[in-house]
Structure 1
Amino acid sequence: MRPEQAFGKVLRELRVEKGLSQEKLALEANLDRTFISLLERGLRQPSFITILEISKILEVSAAHLVELTETEIKKEC
């Protein structure tokens, strides 16, 4: 699994766990809803600032978000 796909999968799982729609997450993170969709589908890569903003809204550390992404990548190896 490519890193952007793994990040997207983790992002979607955490967003759903929090009970947030893509629209609500985007609004709170000051991003466009379509960008959240592109991230979740692995079609875009987040900037460092975006990771920080998203992690704040999801109430997890940016490090944890990256760690979960790395774990997801390793599952496929």
Structure 2
Amino acid sequence: MELSNTLKIHRATHNLTQADLAMEVGVSRKTINTVENGKFIPSTVLALKIASVLNVTVEEIFYLK
């Protein structure tokens, strides 16, 4: 199984750029980019921060494929 995500969709729904979201959760834009592209698996803390900013559950963004 591999971790997949719908981060880009949720981010776009909130009209946030990668840089906007990165600033909100305290990481670099590159980190958000690599998470969206499945090249980096976020820590639990980062996943929770992202979900909180996007007002969804972690499970709505990240799932096993």
Whether 1:29 and 2:19 are equivalent positions in the alignment is: no
Task: Note the residue ranges of structure 2 that are not aligned, 5 or more in a row.
Answer: none
Measured against aligned partners, the alpha-carbon deviations of 1:25-73 in whole angstroms (never above 9, x if no partner) come to 000011111000011111100110011100011011224334xx24xx2
Structure with a larger share of its residues in strand: 2
Give the greater-gyration-radius structure (CA): 1
> Sequence identity of aligned pairs in percent?
28
Query: Which secondary structure does the structure 1 equivalent of 2:39 belong to?
Result: coil
Count of residue pairs the alignment pairs up: 65
Cα offset, 1:23, TM superposition: 0.2
Alignment correspondent of 2:9? 13
CA 1:63–1:2 in structure 2 vs 1: closer, same or farther (change >3 Å)?
A: closer
Letter in 1 for 2:15: G
**Distance (Å, rounded) in 2 between the aligned partners of 1:47 and 1:33:** 16
- For the aligned residue pairs, the C-alpha RMSD in angstroms reads 1.6
Whether 1:61 and 2:65 are equivalent positions in the alignment is: no
Structure with a larger share of its residues in helix: 1
**Distance (Å, rounded) in 2 between the aligned partners of 1:59 and 1:37:** 19
**Distance (Å, rounded) in 2 between the aligned partners of 1:38 and 1:62:** 17
Q: Which runs of 4+ in 1 moved over 3 A?
A: none
Larger RCO: Structure 1 or Structure 2 (Cα < 8 Å, ≥ 6 residues apart)?
A: 2
Cα offset, 1:22, TM superposition: 0.2
**Distance (Å, rounded) in 2 between the aligned partners of 1:63 and 1:43:** 18
